Chains A and B, each alone.
Chain A
Amino acid sequence: MSSQSVDKATFQVVLNLMHELWVVKDRAAVLEQALAEAGVDVADKVDRMQPDAALTERLDEERKAFISRVLAPTLEAE
């Protein structure tokens, strides 16, 4: 990413991908918990599951770290 100029359209795409990917990552984490707890009707369960405090905290942390990691080049670009 050194001194290249940023292609704005491409970046929009990257952000859209990030958005989609995060939703999936988040979902996988919830799915693990749901499976562990029941094993039946997992899709609906995941969909409706309201994360408890511990999972909420974990997701908050992981989401922030994920965003910082993927977008690190934007802070470092010169």
Chain B
Amino acid sequence: MEFELRQRGRSAIDFAADMGAMGMKLSAAVGAKIADVELPEDFDEQLEMMEQRLGDNPQQQFLLAMGEWSATTHGEITFDAFKEIQPELEPEFERLRQGGTQIETRPGYEPPDYWVGVDFHRTTGGWVREHQGFVHGELIHPKYVAKNFPGGIFKQRRDVLNELGDRKFSNILEMGTSSGHFTVALAEAFPEAAITGVEPGLPMLEQAQRFGNERGASWRLIQASAEETGLPDSSFDLVTSYILLHELPARATRAVFVEAFRLLEPGGVVFMSDVQPFRAMPRIAQWRANAGALRGGEPYWREAASLDLAALATELGFEDARSYGLGERQYPWVTIARKPAA
């Protein structure tokens, strides 16, 4: 969507993004001080040991304070930037409600209990605040997250799809559609495919709808939970998600794989991209991930990164399940498996 931020909104977002870069410098300074540390295996003991070791380290204190500032203000800064231009966006919103991409809601839908009332990423109202879709999809991701994301988050959404090889998919279900950035990547990679997206947050789907109608696509967007889509058995050849699973408790991830199995036709593929599991990390990275998740509004990261998704998929009946990291950084982590042919 074409829009022009006001001076205040634009410069406040740019500032917040560059503070993130400053945080990375401080983090490197802290990292140099703990290069020799030998951490225990247990995550709580890791946190405790580092607390003792770094408790009065000034860089670490500044880093935590900056992290706190970013976590608690980025949502408001971007929301304020949106408010400044909201009146001129409304006609655009209206225009982009028209088209082949439509949102389906179901009477009596209840979002998952682990999702309701949680301010993910510590942004006020989590995924349900009105207009969070625009704020997340047009401001937070492109103008804030993307600025400091190693390798580029938009490129990553496209790159992961290379792991699917040459196979052309024609019926794709995306779980955790959010504001639709991965949906766009899927549509570009598989221009002929019919795409369905499920997501509990209505404001998020509103933005996904705009991205869809903007490109003349006919996506079916449904306000539903990934573990209970209400869609028919064997109706997709690809079920996929990008950075959904770390927002789910382990029990929900199991339910999601069970649902994916049911929804796939024989020979269909499940393909999930998400954070690195702890078993692939050195202990110092485990500590960093756990500490970051605790402070960054990621209540389920720890249990999610403790799972072995290939083993889970195999246990649930999938074949050829593989789980591995991409590129030099081994990030993100993809899991790919096939439902047995009939």
Contacts and interface: CB of A to CB of B under 8 A. Distances in A.
Contacts of A8: 61, 64-65, 68
Contacts of A47: 6-8
B188 interface: no
A49 B6 CA distance: 7
B29 A75 contact: yes
Contacts of B29: 75
B58 A74 contact: yes
Nearest to A26: B11
A74 B68 contact: no
B56 interface: yes
Given A64-B21, A71-B22, A6 B58 contact: yes
Interface stretch (B12-20, B135-143, B170-178, B320-328): B12-20
A77 B7 contact: no
Contacts of B19: 15, 67
A23 B15 contact: yes
Contacts of B73: 19
A16 B7 CA distance: 18
Contacts, number: 84
Contacts of B11: 22-23, 26-27, 59
A48 B4 contact: yes
B149 interface: no
B65 A49 contact: no
Interface of B: 4, 6-8, 10-12, 14-16, 18-19, 21-22, 25-26, 29, 56, 58-59, 61-62, 64-66, 68-69, 73, 77
17 contacts: A3-B58, A5-B61, A8-B61, A19-B15, A19-B73, A19-B77, A23-B8, A48-B6, A48-B7, A60-B14, A64-B18, A64-B21, A71-B22, A74-B26, A74-B62, A75-B29, A77-B58
Given A19-B12, A71-B22, 9 more contacts: A6-B65, A8-B64, A8-B68, A11-B61, A11-B65, A26-B7, A47-B7, A63-B15, A75-B29
